Amino acid sequence: MSSRYMKLTAVAAATAATATMLSACGSGGSSASGASGGSGGSGGKISVGLITKTETNPFFVTMKKGAQAEAAKDGVKLLTAAGAFDGDNAGQVTAVQNMIAAGVKGILITPSDPKAIAPTLDKARQQGIVVIALDTPPDPQNSADALFATDNQAAGKLIGQYAKAAMAGKPAKIATLDLAPGVTVGVLRHNGFLAGFGVAEGDPSIACEADTGGDQAKGQTAMENCLQKAPDINLVYTINEPAAMGAYQALKSAGKEKAVTIVTVDGSCTGINALAGGQFVADSQQYPLKMASLGVQAVVDFAKTGKKPSGYTDTGVTLVAANPVSGVDSKDTTYGQSNCWGS
């Protein structure tokens, strides 16, 4: 797995560099073969399309709710679709094509396969549709007009720094439970965590690396496999909270949950409650409601003024921790619960 992350480092670094530069001027489900919400262009009403990776991941469920709330507020029609699973590029391609046919003014999308979806996004833009990536940039990033997202490199770095301080000099045996090869958001978080912890890819302290697709069941299986490979693992990084919850269940079943530190990314209400309950020690909180609402607003502005959004908008990330550690800024679980999302 090391080679997969190393070969994508240049892409991830370029994305992070572009984001920094521009900020100066974040399984299973209904098929994306259709779109809900009715006809996009009837009656002169502005229509906006939202395509997420899945319909079941709480992050994307929240994003959809944010888009629905903003669409209702702005009096626009929202069409929605999602992949059947994280990585379902074919489903997302079909959803984009359906939304083009429906006459939407803009498409908001969280790309499942950033490179594979790019040509389809280019076709949408050629039709005069504004395309905004949420959470995950396409590859190349300029296949979308704009990106509204968490600084995923920073999100990973924050929990890496926290984990390093929390280990307090104790030798680490690390498991990284990642997303999937080639997905920029996963690469950025993975590399950010390693940078924050102060180790390079391939370091002997990394005892196991496994992909989870951001799924709880796959996260549990990945952790079980990692424990078989390296029973002395004492630190786990996960791509998101569902993977972290799966990892915790595997550790609990093995009687190791109190001996292993888990850090993750998301900041949902379920995750922050798990953090407060001792399942994790730190969580980089991101804000999907903000991504979605800004996206809908940008399409409405484009429809009314013709001005396209551009560049990168950082929607923020905050480190929430059960206990503060010296040298790493964090917020407590009360803050996390006040700013969390989902049920």
- Res 158: pLDDT: 98
Predicted structure pTM score: 0.85
- Res 32: pLDDT: 36
- Res 43: pLDDT: 54
- Rounded CA separation 42/49 (Å): 14
**Strand (E) or helix (H) holding 237:** strand 235-238
User: Which segments of 269-334 are extended strands (E)?
Assistant: 282-285, 311-314, 318-321
- Res 14: pLDDT: 39
Domain 31-150+287-309 matches domain 152-285+319-338 at the CATH topology level: yes
By the 8 A CB rule, do 108 and 299 touch? yes
- Architecture of domain 31-150+287-309 in this structure: 3-Layer(aba) Sandwich (3.40)
CB-based contacts of 295: which residues, under 8 Å, 6+ apart?
A: 48, 50, 67, 106, 108, 132, 134, 148
Mean per-residue pLDDT pooled into runs of 10, the chain (343 residues): 42 37 30 38 80 94 97 97 94 98 98 96 98 96 98 98 97 97 92 98 98 96 98 98 98 98 98 97 98 98 96 98 96 97 88
- Res 183: pLDDT: 87
DSSP structural state of residue 40 = S
- Rounded CA separation 54/16 (Å): 25
- Res 18: pLDDT: 36
By the 8 A CB rule, do 95 and 162 touch? no
Pick from 163, 166, 118, 169: which is nearest to 145 by CA? 118
Q: Quick check: bond before 204 cis, omega within 30?
A: no
Kindly list the domain boundaries of the chain, sorted by start residue: 31-150+287-309, 152-285+319-338
By the 8 A CB rule, do 161 and 194 touch? no
Both tokens of 7, joined, read 């070969």
Pick from 343, 318, 342, 317: which is nearest to 330 by CA? 318
CATH 3.40.50.970 for domain 152-285+319-338, yes or no, is no
Pick from 149, 102, 148, 140: which is nearest to 121 by CA? 140
